């Protein structure tokens, strides 16, 4: 057993899904703690005892960021954890900056959950993000990339290969079709589900433009989500779309089970947890060729991949969709989820990184390589917790 402090900026959305999978797995195995901002974090939905959760006041403004750094520093000093596991870019800056130069800092594991230099932004900003990540890697023992695309890109930005591993995100088994109340859909249409923010990153404009331009009247477009920074009513939905608004995470399975397929047309995407949630329910996924999405989906096996820069490819896929064609992929979707994206697979690989990092504690030049099987030891056997 090891003492582990998880550090995150906030827990809303996909970060909470991932974090809860890790916390649920670790709470009976380790002595775990979590520090997060009170902004966009819900203590009631986090899988950790309230007394082990620290929330700090926060906004993305300089005075709050500085206060967050001191709060995290204090928590590390007081808890003296064996491992600090940092989730997300901002938390990665806050936690690691405070530990730069420490002679006896804890083992530090970092996952950006989507590198800032992979965003659709200017070249100079990408170089700046890369420089900051290289600098902070000096206070890092292991860097978890959530896709091969992330890993390969991080090496181009000269992050240390010897510290870098790839671990796909994973989710636990969901509710089966008989365990949820289905959503009313169009029985004579292909029901295609989009889940997420109605913004540029998620490729929502491309999706709407494709429907407005081509009609695609054989498809019923199911829209779950909404805008964050603008009035939802500014969107011009096609006539064959139904907007359901934001839906609680506990209700998502109802919509996925009711759909024939899920679409994730992102411009950039760290991973795309909704894609593996769809596979978990046996639903094929149509994705852009960005980020990890093209690694999750095998064309014709568990879905389809289109080139985001070639919008006609998306139309070519959508115009030929049929319920029979999509239904035939059901078993292959389930198999790909179980083999590659189940939470148990992810958590076992994280444990391997913990074991290796603790084994090489104090040796800041050690190579963290989990490609070979790790002996069956429990984290903290050598170090206590």
What pLDDT digit, counting tens, does each position of 144-200 carry?
A: 999 999 999 999 999 999 999 999 999 999 877 777 788 999 999 999 999 998 988
Domain with 49, as residue range(s), is: 3-172+342-359
- Model confidence over 293-330: pLDDT tens digits? 999 999 999 999 999 999 999 999 999 999 999 999 99
Q: From edge to edge, which strands make up the β-sheet containing 3-8?
A: 53-56, 31-37, 3-8, 83-87, 107-111, 142-145, 164-166
Whole-angstrom distance, CA of residue 193 vs CA of residue 117: 29
For residues 211 and 239, what is the distance between their CA atoms, to the nearest angstrom? 9
How many domains does the chain contain in total? 2
* CA atoms of 88 and 90, how far apart (whole Å): 6
Q: What string of pLDDT tens digits covers the 385 residues of the chain?
A: 899 999 999 887 778 889 999 999 999 999 999 999 988 888 888 999 999 999 998 888 999 999 999 999 999 999 999 999 999 999 999 999 999 888 889 999 999 998 999 887 899 999 999 999 999 999 999 999 999 999 999 999 999 999 999 999 999 998 777 777 889 999 999 999 999 989 888 999 999 999 999 999 999 999 998 876 544 457 899 999 999 998 887 889 999 999 999 999 999 887 888 999 999 999 999 999 998 899 999 999 999 999 999 999 999 999 999 999 999 999 999 999 999 999 999 999 999 999 999 988 766 555 665 453 333 445 665 444 3
Let me know if residue 380 belongs to a domain.
no
Rounded to two decimals, the pTM is 0.83
Domain-located, residue 364 = no
How many other C-beta atoms can be found within 10 angstroms of the C-beta atom of residue 68?
A: 25
Q: How far is CA 275 from CA 227, 269, 322, in A?
A: 20, 11, 19
Q: Are residues 195 and 290 in the same domain?
A: yes
Q: Are residues 197 and 240 in the same domain?
A: yes
Q: 146 and 192, same structural domain?
A: no
Residue 326: inside a domain, yes or no? yes
Tokens of 226: 């909404």
Say whether both 98 and 195 belong to one domain. no
Contact predicate 56/68, CB 8 Å: yes
Q: How far apart are CA 67 and CA 60, in angstroms?
A: 11
Does residue 367 form part of some domain?
A: no
Q: What is the DSSP string of 197-256?
A: ESSTTTTHHHHHHHHHHH--TTEEEEEEEE-SSS-GGGS---TTEEEEE---GGGHHHHH
Q: Which CATH number do you get for residue 19?
A: 3.40.50.2000
């Amino acid at each position: 057993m090891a003492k582990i402090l998880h550090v995150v900026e906030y827990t809303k959305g996909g970060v909470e899904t991932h974090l809860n999978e890790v916390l649920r797995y670790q709470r009976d195995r380790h002595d775990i703690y979590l520090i997060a901002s009170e902004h966009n974090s819900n203590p009631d939905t986090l899988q950790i005892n309230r007394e082990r959760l620290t929330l700090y006041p926060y906004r993305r403004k300089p005075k709050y960021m500085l206060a967050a750094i001191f709060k995290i520093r204090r928590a590390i000093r007081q808890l003296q954890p064996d491992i600090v596991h940092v989730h997300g870019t901002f938390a990665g800056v806050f936690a690691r900056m405070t530990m730069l130069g420490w002679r006896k800092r804890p083992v530090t594991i970092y996952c950006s959950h989507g590198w800032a230099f992979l965003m659709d932004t200017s070249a100079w900003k990408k170089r700046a993000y890369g420089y900051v990540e290289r600098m902070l890697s000096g206070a890092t023992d292991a860097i978890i990339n959530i896709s091969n695309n992330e890993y390969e890109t991080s090496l181009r930005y000269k992050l240390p290969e010897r510290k870098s591993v790839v671990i796909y995100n994973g989710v636990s088994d969901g509710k089966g079709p008989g365990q949820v109340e289905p959503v009313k859909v169009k029985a004579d249409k292909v029901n295609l589900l989009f889940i997420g923010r109605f913004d540029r990153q998620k490729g929502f404009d491309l999706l709407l433009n494709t429907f407005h331009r081509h009609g695609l009247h054989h498809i019923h477009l199911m829209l779950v989500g909404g805008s964050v920074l603008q009035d939802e009513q500014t969107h011009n939905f096609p006539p064959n779309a139904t907007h359901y608004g934001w839906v609680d995470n506990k209700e998502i399975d109802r919509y996925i089970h009711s759909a024939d397929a899920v679409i994730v047309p992102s411009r950039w995407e760290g991973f795309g947890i909704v894609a593996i949630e769809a596979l978990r329910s046996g639903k094929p996924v149509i994705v852009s060729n960005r980020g990890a999405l093209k690694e999750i989906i095998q064309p014709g096996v568990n879905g389809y991949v289109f080139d985001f820069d070639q919008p006609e490819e998306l139309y070519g896929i959508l115009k030929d969709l049929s319920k029979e064609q999509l239904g035939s992929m059901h078993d292959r979707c389930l198999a790909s989820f179980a083999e590659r994206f189940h939470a148990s697979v992810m958590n076992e690989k994280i444990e391997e990184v913990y074991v290796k990092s603790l084994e090489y504690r104090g040796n800041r030049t050690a190579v963290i390589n989990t490609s070979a099987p790790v002996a069956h030891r429990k984290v903290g056997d050598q170090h206590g917790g």
